[in-house]
Amino acid sequence: MKKRSITIAGHRTSVALEPEFWTFIEKMAAEQQLSLADFIAQIDETRAQTNLASALRLAVLNWLEQQVPQLSDQS
Return d(Cα 64, Cα 12) in angstroms, integer: 28
In tens, the pLDDT along 14-73 reads: 999 999 999 999 999 999 999 999 999 999 999 988 899 999 999 999 999 888 876 666
Return d(Cα 1, Cα 57) in angstroms, integer: 13
Range of the domain at 19: 2-73
The CATH number of residue 54's host domain is 1.10.3990.20
Closest CA to 24 of 47, 2, 9: 2
Predicted local confidence at residue 75, as pLDDT: 56
Q: How many domains does the chain have?
A: 1
